[in-house]
Amino acid sequence: MREAYPVEQAVGIAHFVSDSDGTGGQLRASPEDFRVREVERFEAEPADADPGAYPHLVVRATLREWDTNDFAKRLSDALGISRERVSWAGTKDKYAVTTQLFTLRKVDQSDLADVSIYDADVEVLGRAGRGLTFGDLAGNEFEIVVSEAEHPENAERVRDELLDWAGTPLGVPNFFGQQRFGSRRPVTHEVGLHVVRGEWEEAVRAYVANPYDTEPEGSQQARREVADAFEERDWQAALDATPKRLGFERAMCNALVESGGDGPEDFRAALEAVPSNLQRLFVNAAQSYAFNRMLSERLERGLPFDRPVAGDVACFADSVDSVTLPDPDREQRVTERRVETVARHCERGRAFVTAPLVGTETELAEGEQGDVESEVLDDLDLEPADFDLPGEFHSTGTRRAILVRTDLEIEREGDESVAFDFSLPKGSYATVVLREFLKTDPANE
């Protein structure tokens, strides 16, 4: 196994599975080189359905270089409604062309007539009785072009190594990608770890006052000034130092100005000043970091990903269109007697080995995987009961497949470009698949 880059190790990804050199090259030379289309399990009634019975307008948006949260805010502002009335199933990366559904509560089709948003095409599909949730997302279909590839011929060699590692279809460890933690500034898991430990002030400080070299210099300088203001307990100075473009950071600082920032409850209230989905993301990122650490440790121990060992917890699978979707609600502990039976289910794509996204209801695996999970949590000073938290920070936890498989197609486009077409279940990252093929440092992207 090859060692991962430092920025990957910072979010718990310690290795590459394939040993071959990659293609090199650039992702997202233009947004059109990274196309994502959601696959949802969500049905809409006709657009003229009774808005009393179906209060949510369903639209399909194709967005060019729009962060999902930013677009939702822009759309709600254009409609003159609260952002909380805009719902979606999955959050997409900004540097791409993305197609996904949104639901707009108590909005009429005519309200969109005068709405025009740059680089966004919004199409009305119908109405629904409820808003979209993450549970409606089945997966994503990707069309990705890697440009300026130094060694495009290496793509086939990497694919062969991945097939040797986990069989067919091609599989890679189901790590959470850099986007989960912040592409330019991977701090959300640091915030979340502080939250889970009840360190509310440290959580706020980690989010608003922790500069990263990959940020613009102006943002780095602002965060340094905010860090100084924290030392002086001068919340107005922290707010004044934070530029308007850092809207969530300003919301936290403004909450401290209003409350006085005297104790843990004030800092918790500052964290609650940001949208509810971002509050959840903090804890989710902490869970994701622990999960990545567990997968890295399993790799280091040489345990298989495509089949169970005694003590593992497996889940069964469902299929939606082109996507095979692990179902963590249908799980089974793998005893020594059932290892081979569950292994056959895994081989046929009917089951997956899992690791926990730790929460209050988490029961750890047994055997060697149980040792992995316990050691990671001990090192992070975490236990399931720590996730018994107030409000949006609470999490019961779930389990997640440790291997993601995909029928991946590779096509050479000229001498320096490689095109990849594939689908992934929800929660899995195209960049995690492609990192094996490119072997490039995310810090340089």
What is the pTM assigned to this prediction?
A: 0.91
CB 165 within 8 A of CB 307: no
Q: In sequence order, which residues have a C-beta less than 8 Å from that of residue 114 and are 6 or more positions away?
A: none
Considering the candidates 48, 70, 93, 306, report the single residue annotated as catalytic. 93
Q: Is the pLDDT of residue 443 over 90?
A: no
Q: In sequence order, which residues have a C-beta less than 8 Å from that of residue 281 and are 6 or more positions away?
A: 188, 192
| Position with higher pLDDT, 213 vs 127 | 127
Whether residue 93 lies in the annotated active site: yes
Domains, the chain, ordered by start: 2-25+149-174+406-444 (no CATH), 33-138 (3.30.70.3160), 188-274 (1.10.1510.30), 278-401 (3.30.2350.20)
Average pLDDT over the chain, rounded to an integer? 95
pLDDT of residue 8: 95
Phi/psi for 212 (5° steps) reads -120, 145
* C-alpha to C-alpha distance for 291 and 314, rounded to whole angstroms: 15
- Region 190-207: mean pLDDT is 98
Band (pLDDT 50/70/90 cuts) for residue 217 is very high
Band (pLDDT 50/70/90 cuts) for residue 184 is confident
Q: Tell me: the pLDDT tens digits for 98-156?
A: 999 999 999 999 999 999 999 999 999 999 999 999 889 999 999 999 999 999 999 99
* C-alpha to C-alpha distance for 37 and 90, rounded to whole angstroms: 11
